[in-house]
Amino acid sequence: MKIAKTPSELKDILKTYSSSVGFVPTMGALHHGHLSLIEESVRENEITVVSIFVNPTQFLEGEDLDKYPSKIDADEKICSFAGVDILFYPNINDIYEEDEIKVIAPNVRGFILEGFSRPGHFDGVLTVVMKLLNIVSPAKAYFGKKDAQQLALIQQMVKNFFMDVEIVPLETVRESDGLALSSRNIYLNDTQRVDALKISKSLKTATKLVMQGVLSTQEIKEKMQLVLEPLEVEYVSIVSRSFSPLKEVEIGNSIILVAARLGSTRLIDNLWV
Ligand code: AMP
């Protein structure tokens, strides 16, 4: 596995290959969720590039940028074992300069749910993803459904800017008890780790209700809130796959989303129905 520290180093290495590239952007502290994206890219492409970059512009003032977990040695081994060809591990100054042009999230879809809770977050995400896609020029880029709104906005950016890359969405990987894997799970203490299960349980409750024929989003959200108690819930929402509000679940076109805080740790999860 080759390691590139700067965009020009990465571009020089890529010039030596003629094959099409699969790309997995991450912020590191890799877990099995990341690994599922990497493995799919390795399966589908001759060359796989993984980036590890904790992008400062997607963190709001007071968020966990300074304490975001960093495990570069372990991450390097995971990538190497998984068959990654190039690990791209740039510094902030290699990616950003002063007074830049930015990508701005759309007014409606970019400012509900995560965009409402974290104003400016998606501008940072879209800007860095645009940069990374331009540096790597992959044929395919792999993203988790765990970050459903991020995925939808990246798909919209690729469409709106006529970018030549296929975005491949992959399923959320969970612990055996249902907790969605996240680099932030390591912040949870034992009690919070148990409480966090209420999030996936509330989504299971929603699935059961839909299977019983309950489609009213109001009714489903109320039942989910009961399961989530006494967590500090930021939102429970049911939207279409294009993030429009729904009065009734449309099977095959709906996403049920939850964001909740456990102490200072903010977790999100969702279910595609
Ligand atoms: P991050 O390192 O948190 O920026 O995540 C990098 C990529 O991994 C994103 O596309 C995430 O959606 C994806 N990802 C994070 N957690 C999971 C998970 N539990 N299952 C599948 N993909 C995930």
Element (H, E) at 220: helix 217-228
Mean pLDDT of 122-126: 98
The yes-or-no verdict on residue 271 having pLDDT over 90 is yes
Under the banding of pLDDT at 50, 70 and 90, the label for residue 178 is very high
Q: What tens digit of pLDDT does each residue of 84-109 get?
A: 999 999 999 999 999 999 999 999 99
For residues 142 and 236, what is the distance between their CA atoms, to the nearest angstrom? 26
**End-to-end CA separation in angstroms for the chain:** 39
For residues 196 and 260, what is the distance between their CA atoms, to the nearest angstrom? 9
Q: List Cα–Cα distances, 11 to 75, 129, 135, 186, in angstroms.
A: 22, 16, 7, 34
Under the banding of pLDDT at 50, 70 and 90, the label for residue 128 is very high
Under the banding of pLDDT at 50, 70 and 90, the label for residue 18 is confident
Q: Which atom of ligand 1 is nearest to the CA of 143?
A: 10
Q: What tens digit of pLDDT does each residue of 233-255 get?
A: 999 999 999 999 999 999 999 99
- Its pTM stands at 0.98
Percent of residues, the chain, with pLDDT higher than 90 = 99
Decide the pairing of beta strands 232-240 and 254-262.
Answer: antiparallel
What is the model's pLDDT at position 9? 98
Coil, strand or helix: which one is 40? Answer: helix
Residues serving a catalytic function are: 34
Compute the distance from residue 29 Cα to the ligand 1 centre, in Å.
11
Mean pLDDT of 51-63: 97
What is the model's pLDDT at position 213? 98
How confident is the prediction for the chain on average, in pLDDT?
98
What is the model's pLDDT at position 75? 98
What is the model's pLDDT at position 232? 98
Lay out the sheet containing 265-272: strands in order across: 232-240, 254-262, 265-272
What is the model's pLDDT at position 107? 96
Token pair belonging to 31: 């877990």
Amino acid at 56: P
Compute the distance from residue 166 Cα to the ligand 1 centre, in Å.
17
Compute the distance from residue 14 Cα to the ligand 1 centre, in Å.
24
CA nearest ligand 1 atom 10, residue: 143
Mark residue 113 as left, alpha or beta (left: phi above 0; alpha: psi -120 to 50; beta: remaining). Answer: left
Compute the distance from residue 173 Cα to the ligand 1 centre, in Å.
9
DSSP summary character for residue 184: G
DSSP summary character for residue 253: S
Q: Hey, which of 70, 84, 143 would you mutate to test ligand 1's pocket, going by the most ligand atoms within 8 Å of its Cβ? A: 143
Residue (of 263, 273, 255) closest to 114 by Cα position: 255
Compute the distance from residue 268 Cα to the ligand 1 centre, in Å.
11
Q: Which atom of ligand 1 is nearest to the CA of 25?
A: 6
CA nearest ligand 1 atom 14, residue: 144
Ligand 1 residue neighbourhood (C-beta within 6 Å) = 26-27, 33-34, 36-37, 143-144, 146-147, 170, 172-173, 180-183
Token pair belonging to 135: 């540096």
For residues 54 and 74, what is the distance between their CA atoms, to the nearest angstrom? 16
Q: Which atom of ligand 1 is nearest to the CA of 142?
A: 10
Q: Which atom of ligand 1 is nearest to the CA of 144?
A: 12
